């Protein structure tokens, strides 16, 4: 399994916070990491919305999500009157 997943991203972000707090990383570098993480999350949210809207499975390993295809709507009754 790839290391590019939500758990790994979360771990890297917490490591970044600790590094800034301990003085091992400057704020500019931490900000760049944070901005990259936001972009990754936004891309994944778009993929989730696409899968929810159009049905189907997401291709990536980042956030695995599978949604069954939407059921076909029931046929509408025929218009008009029946003679009985």
Is the distance from CB of 65 to CB of 48 less than 8 angstroms? yes
In the chain, what are the domain boundaries?
Answer: 6-67
What is the token pair recorded at 73?
Answer: 């709507």
Q: What pLDDT is recorded for position 66?
A: 44
- The DSSP bridge pattern shows strands 66-67 and 56-57 to be antiparallel
pTM above 0.75, yes or no: no
**pLDDT band at 14, cuts 50/70/90?**
very high
What tens digit of pLDDT does each residue of 26-74 get?
Answer: 999 999 999 999 999 999 888 888 888 887 776 665 555 444 555 667 7
Q: What pLDDT is recorded for position 65?
A: 43
Which phi and psi angles does 57 have, rounded to 5°? Answer: -110, 145
Comparison of pLDDT for 58 and 15, the residue scoring more: 15
- Among the residues of the chain, which ranges form H helices? 6-22, 27-54
The answer for residues whose C-beta is within 8 angstroms of residue 64's C-beta and 6 or more apart is 58
């Amino acid at each position: 399994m790839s290391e590019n997943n939500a758990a790994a991203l979360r771990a890297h972000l917490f490591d970044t916070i600790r590094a800034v707090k301990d003085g091992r990383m400057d704020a500019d570098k931490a900000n760049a990491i944070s901005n990259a993480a936001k972009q990754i999350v936004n891309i994944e949210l778009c993929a989730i919305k696409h899968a929810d809207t159009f049905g189907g499975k997401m291709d990536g390993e980042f956030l695995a999500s599978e949604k069954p295809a939407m059921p076909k709507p029931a046929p509408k009754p025929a218009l008009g009157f029946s003679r009985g």
